[in-house]
Amino acid sequence: MTRPELHETLTAMIAALDPPATAPGLRITEAHLDAPLELTLAQGEDGLTAYAAPPSTRFVTGFQNPVHRMQLNTGETRVAFGQGGESS
């Protein structure tokens, strides 16, 4: 299976912070994620590209890429767009 690009993995992680529709009273204002990541660099269509995904297994094997550690800080921010949808 092709590993996704780093931005796809990070966007999915941050998007997962949205509270579920079944909990309308829950709001997450900031988050700190400390997570393992398998990262490789390879020549893609746009030059050197970083591909990353959470490790496929928790076990250390001799044939899978080593796992790196990442920390990500994200916070809620209001964007000055005129049209709005539902508020978060």
Partner 1 sequence: MTASAAAPIEDFLEAITAQLDKTQDSLRLKAVNRPLTFALKDFTIDLSVFVEMDPDGIVRLRPSGPNEAGASTIHIGFTTITRTMIEENTISMELAQSPGLEEAELAPEESLRLQRLGVRNTAQLDRLRAQLGDEGVARFSGVDPGRLRQALQVNRGGVDFVDIGAGRRARANPEGEPPATVPIRPGQQRLRLRGANLNGGGQQPARLSFNGQHLPIRASSFSHIDIDLPDERAPGANRLDVELADGRIQSFDLVEANAANPTPREDDRWSSRAPEEPEA
Question: What single letter denotes the amino acid at residue 38?
Answer: E
Measured distance CA(37)–CA(55) in Å, rounded: 6
Question: Least distance (Å) from partner 1 to the CB of residue 57?
Answer: 13
Tell me the CB-side half-sphere exposure of residue 72, using CA atoms within 13 A: 17
Position 55 contacts partner 1 (CB under 8 A): no
Measured distance CA(66)–CA(55) in Å, rounded: 9
Q: Report 22-51 residues binding partner 1 (CB under 8 A).
A: 31, 37, 39-44, 46-51
**Under the rule (CB under 8 A), what is the footprint of partner 1?**
2-3, 5-7, 10-11, 14-15, 17, 31, 37, 39-44, 46-52, 61-66, 68-79, 81, 83-88
